[in-house]
Amino acid sequence: MAKVYAQLDERLTKFILAQPIFFVATAPCLSAAGQGGHVNVSPKGYRDTFAILGPRTVAYLDLTGSGAEPGPPMPRGTASASADLPAW
């Protein structure tokens, strides 16, 4: 279970700044009918691209990646997926 903190203390700040990678996630709001898009999680984290500006404020450089978007999530009830791969 996740724990929610009101702000970052010295211990959390040291821990966060010691991490070599972080992730940014976005999720669209659901409609009244419960419909919405997919969650997108992107790895980030070159050294010195994340900063803690204050106990309740962080910032990161949003560097452009390859532009490749991951495939859509698998449909519910699907146990596995296969892909047509080229024969080398």
pLDDT value of position 43? 85
For residue 83, being part of any structural domain is answered with no
Mean pLDDT, the chain, as a whole number?
A: 78
b/e per residue, 53-66, with b = 16+ CB within 10 A?
eeeeeeeeeeeeee
For residue 67, being part of any structural domain is answered with no
pLDDT value of position 6? 94
For residue 47, being part of any structural domain is answered with yes
Mean predicted confidence (pLDDT) in 14-37: 84
CB 55 within 8 A of CB 7: yes
For residue 42, being part of any structural domain is answered with yes
Residue 33 backbone phi and psi in degrees, to 5: -85, 0
Domain containing 48 equals 10-28+38-60
For residue 24, being part of any structural domain is answered with yes
The domain tally of the chain equals: 1
CA-wise closest residue to 26 among 37, 41, 36: 41
